[in-house]
Chain A
Amino acid sequence: MKKYGLALGSGGARGAAHVGLIEIINKREINIEVVTGSSAGAIVGAFFALYPKANLVRVFDRVIKKNIDIINSNFKILNKKITNFPKMIAGKSFLQNDFVYDIYKELYGRKRFSECKIKLGIVSYDLESGQEIEITEGYIIDAVMASSNVPGVFPPLRLGGMQHLDGGVLNPIPVNFAKKLGANYVIASDLSYQSNNNIKYDNGLDFLLSIDDNKNDLMNRYELKNANEIYKYPLTYSWVDFSAFNDIYIQSKSYIIEQLEREGIQS
């Protein structure tokens, strides 16, 4: 008997695609019993695990619209090279994550993993040991904060004797973790697609930071080889394009429907 798992990948604002996929999964009446998430996948997956029947697009659209000014004003700082330069030597991040905490508090409150309707697993990265961390218990807000803590952008989150950073560092899409939690059929939502292969770098620093992304391909392939259904989205949006949440949701949903039609599956 199939025990369905859902593995949701990292990718910032492109995580709107996960929302579209979950809607279609619910419409197909697939009973997801395990959900795992990394970074953006943790944000969406945790809410889905708590409230499987919620109207996710309405929830996330409302939260993002309400907070879009503070989100955009913070991420705008990432482009200010002059003010960011000293932070690379004297600090541990370009931004502080208080505004992220406030947003997550709205979504998860003080809910725990034990209150989830679907078994939930979240991945993060421990800066001290350099290891991937699998989180299946405790307060959900802590795990989601840890998992979506982009290195350099936000400071490491001290929790449980570790310094947590983004789960996408070592596990961009936790398919094997979903299997470890009991799923024998894993649906994977992969946000790693990059449409732009132009080689254009402003300077050596830009080059150094950009080419590290190439390390994700091997990790992605390693996870996806054990997935049973894979959804990829040829999106051109960057991970900080939160203003485009709705467009990403609509576009990716149409990609999923096209893929299902090609495979002769009714959505």
Chain B
Amino acid sequence: MGGFFEGFYWESGVLEFLAKHEENLTIYTSSVGSLRGLFYSMYGENFFGRLKDFINKKNNPIKDIISSFELYNNLYAQTTALIRLGRGKMSLYEPQILKEFLKDYFGKDTLKSLNKDINFEVFELKSKKVVNLDKNTSIVDMLMMELAFPPYYPYYLYEDGYFIPSSFLSLIPQKFSSDSLIISFDSNLDYPIPKNTVEILLKVSYSRSLKNYQILTEKFTKIEPKKNLTSYFDMSAFFDGQSRIKEWWDNK
């Protein structure tokens, strides 16, 4: 699992179903998939309620991103984003605010404290290498790397490395076992025909990630939405994810 916030509800629906039907899941995650994996490893099959509570916490800056992240098809959002990014800011949101919030929530716990078998994958820009995070990494540092998704947050500087989530490059993590089941909402996103340079660059960027996703998952079973959902951020997407995985589960 990887992706960004579009698949927040849908992929959570898929994971909840799997968690209820399979006790020993090994999960490979990146980006928002890591946030989901983290909460699953902390709270088991009831993770989604806790995850929603976390997102909706008063000071959580992620809430703002979810409610205002649509750049495509929104000329006002594009203009303000360009002004902020073009005038020296590295990102649309301030990473330090996110870090403080995460520190308050997770304290100094490390990945070692997690109960389930979860892999957190990131990409280091200088060495151009995909990295599976060490269990001694703190949860806060892991999330800062996994949420360093441009243009919302800049790369995260950690132990001399410059990290972004690997799924920025390929929608999902790049290293997983050969019997993995691929869960991806983002692979089914539909970008209308671009109207300007910003939209051209956004669509081209998405097409490249999608191509990498297709290369990585060529020989794998994939759970993807069957239809284009008009609303990503409500429980209808969650239940659509559940019915999609149930259909696969019943036929396997």
A residues adjacent to B (C-beta < 8 A): 81, 85, 87-94, 125, 127-128, 130, 132, 151-152, 156, 163, 165, 169-170, 197-199, 201-205, 207-209, 211-212, 214-219, 222
Contacts and interface: CB of A to CB of B under 8 A. Distances in A.
A197 B210 contact: no
Nearest 6 A-B pairs (CB), nearest first?
A204-B85, A215-B208, A205-B85, A130-B207, A88-B197, A218-B212
What interface size band does chain B fall in?
A: 35 or more
Contact of A218 (B91, B204, B216): B216
Contact of B151 (A92, A93, A198, A208): A208
B169 A207 contact: no
A267 B172 CA distance: 44
B125 A215 contact: no
Contacts, number: 130
A205 B174 contact: no
Given A205-B82, A215-B212, A218-B215, A127 B200 contact: yes
B150 A214 contact: no
Interface string B78-113: 110010111111111000000000000000000000
Interface of B: 75, 78-79, 82, 84-92, 123, 125-128, 150-151, 154-155, 162, 164, 168-170, 174, 191, 193-198, 200-201, 203-212, 215-216
B206 A130 contact: yes
Contacts of B194: 92, 127
Contacts of B85: 203-205, 208
B86 A205 contact: yes
Given A151-B201, A152-B201, A169-B204, A207 B89 contact: no
Contacts of B198: 88-89
A207 B150 contact: yes
Contacts of B207: 125, 130, 169-170
Contacts of A216: 208
Most buried by A among B79, B195, B204: B204
B197 A85 contact: no
A30 B167 CA distance: 42
A203 B82 CA distance: 10
Nearest to B196: A89
A91 B199 CA distance: 10
Contact of A127 (B125, B155, B203): B203
Contact of B211 (A93, A165, A170, A197): A170
